[in-house]
């Protein structure tokens, strides 16, 4: 017997969503972002499904190495660059591109002797105030990089703070700062995350960097994934493992917060915050039982949730329960739990078996 909680990954949906990126940014190359274990979908399996991508972006050198060792031959970019001098040797050995966003990374590079020159993406901070050099510093940093024989090509990138809101003026300002700072410099450019791929075509440049849209969640405020023709890649499922006949007034779960308003069936499903289901989900959060909507009741436990089964014909132990994915958008669940789809998807942990279908 295995515990029934599982993440079913639809590889065809990943491929479809990658095609959506191609349609939306037909003149750009695609750096598919697969950091955080491909947003919880499984790094190598997701990458293999999206082998048509022109490159991949990851956050950690370990992910870059794992991906290279899986046989992928094109560009792999370490989005936060190197953390230690040893990472430069890894980048040289495994042909990983590195982002340089801070002077300390440039200094490490100046003292390194990698096996072969490392390609660099110089990151500009155009207004997010997170990572990157001030636009004014870019010419000088470029000169220092280009003077190093341990550096191969130099490319340029920035990241948007507010591209998910098609009405927000910040994106145009960031684009302008980026374009102005780089006007005297040659080299490929990259700005667009998923939101910008869909809502800001002027930002597509040489490389787009989609993440969340590949996994079938909406990157845009107020737009549903299905309206954007994105298909959910992960369906998180489990089964009912108990059904209780409760009486009016019975309290359900820790704290006894939720009380049965009448005699009713309460289902218990094998999934909880120990699997990555959000503990902030509250009573009323939708789930699907045998494809039909039902409501979570009471607090989420580590391994279990309780479900109001009123209106469900003859529910049985073993019946399928869907937490999000096909038939129940992860964006809707995220909103109900006060978070974003990104956090839910990459929070699904190793305790949940991943199954792949094509």
Ligand X SMILES: *Cc1c(COP(=O)(O)O)cnc(C)c1O
Q: Which residues bind ligand X (CB under 6 A)?
A: 33, 35, 79, 159, 193-194, 209-212, 219
Query: Of 237, 287, 291, nearest to 266 (Cα)?
Result: 287
Q: Which is nearer to ligand X, 15 or 203 (CB)?
A: 203
Contacts 24+ apart (CB under 8 A), 77-83: 77/31, 77/121, 79/33, 79/35, 80/131, 81/105, 82/108, 82/109
**Least distance between ligand X and beta carbon 270 (Å):** 30
What span, in angstroms and rounded, lies between the C-alpha atoms of 186 and 184?
7
The rounded distance, in Å, linking the Cα atoms of 134 and 124 is 6
Q: Whole-number minimum distance, CB 247 to ligand X, in Å?
A: 47
How far is residue 219 CA from its own chain's centroid? 10
Instruction: Write down the least CB distance from residue 342 to ligand X, Å.
Output: 6
**Residue 321 Cβ, how far from ligand X at the closest point, in Å?**
27
Q: Using the minimum distance from each CB to ligand X, give the nearer residue, 141 or 241.
A: 141
Helix (H, G, I), strand (E, B) or coil at 174: helix
Nearer to ligand X (CB atom), residue 118 or residue 195:
195
Residue nearest to ligand X (CB): 211
Question: What is the nearest approach in angstroms of ligand X to the Cβ of residue 209?
Answer: 4
Of 178, 131, 52, 208, the C-alpha closest to 200 is: 208
Q: What is the Cα–Cα distance from 83 to 187, expressed in whole angstroms?
A: 24
Q: Which is nearer to ligand X, 194 or 235 (CB)?
A: 194
- Please report how close the Cβ of residue 273 comes to ligand X at its closest, in angstroms: 23
Cβ-based nearer residue to ligand X, 210 or 276:
210
Contacts for 266 with CB less than 8 Å, ≥ 6 apart: 243, 244, 246, 252, 260, 297, 306, 307, 308, 309
Q: How far apart are CA 215 and CA 17, in angstroms?
A: 7
**157/294 with CB nearer ligand X:** 157
CB 279, min distance to ligand X, A: 24
Catalytic residue IDs: 35, 254
Closest C-alpha among 4, 5, 7, 3 to residue 330: 7
- Angle between the 85-94 and 61-69 helix axes, to the nearest 10 degrees? 20
What is the DSSP annotation of 75-107? Answer: EEEETT--SSHHHHHHHHHHT-EEEE-SHHHHH
Whichever of 5 and 33 has its CB closer to ligand X, that residue is: 33
């Amino acid at each position: 017997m295995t515990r029934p909680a599982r993440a079913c990954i639809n590889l065809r949906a990943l491929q479809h969503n990658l095609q959506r990126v191609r349609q939306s940014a037909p003149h750009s190359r695609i750096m598919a972002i697969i950091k955080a274990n491909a947003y919880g979908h499984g790094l190598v399996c997701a990458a293999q499904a999206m082998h048509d991508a022109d490159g991949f972006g990851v956050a950690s050198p370990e992910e870059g190495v794992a991906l290279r060792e899986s046989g992928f031959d094109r560009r792999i970019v370490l989005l936060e660059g190197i953390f230690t001098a040893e990472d430069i040797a890894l980048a040289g050995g495994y042909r990983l591109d590195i982002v340089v966003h801070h002077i300390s990374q440039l200094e490490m590079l100046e003292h390194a002797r990698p096996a072969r020159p490392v390609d660099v993406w110089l990151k500009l901070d155009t207004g997010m105030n997170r990572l990157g050099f001030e636009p004014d510093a870019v010419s000088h940093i470029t000169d220092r990089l280009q003077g190093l024989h341990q550096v191969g090509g130099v490319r340029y990138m920035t990241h948007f703070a507010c591209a998910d809101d098609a009405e927000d003026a910040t994106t145009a300002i960031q684009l302008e700062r980026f374009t102005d700072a780089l006007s005297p410099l040659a080299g490929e450019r990259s700005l667009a995350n998923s939101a910008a791929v869909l809502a800001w075509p002027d930002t597509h440049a040489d490389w787009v960097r989609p993440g969340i849209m590949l996994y079938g969640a909406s990157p845009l405020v107020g737009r549903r994934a299905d309206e954007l023709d994105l298909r959910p890649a992960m369906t998180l499922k489990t089964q009912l493992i108990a059904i209780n006949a409760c009486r009016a007034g019975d309290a359900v779960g820790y704290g006894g917060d939720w009380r049965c308003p009448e005699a009713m069936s309460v289902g218990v499903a094998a999934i909880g915050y120990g699997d990555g289901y959000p503990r902030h989900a509250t009573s009323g959060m939708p789930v699907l039982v045998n494809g039909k909507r039902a409501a979570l009741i009471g607090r989420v436990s580590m391994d279990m949730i309780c479900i109001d089964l009123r209106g469900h014909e003859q529910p049985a132990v073993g019946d399928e329960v869907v937490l999000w994915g096909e038939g129940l958008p992860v964006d809707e669940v995220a909103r109900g739990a006060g978070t974003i789809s990104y956090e839910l998807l990459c929070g699904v942990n190793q305790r949940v078996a991943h199954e792949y279908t094509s």
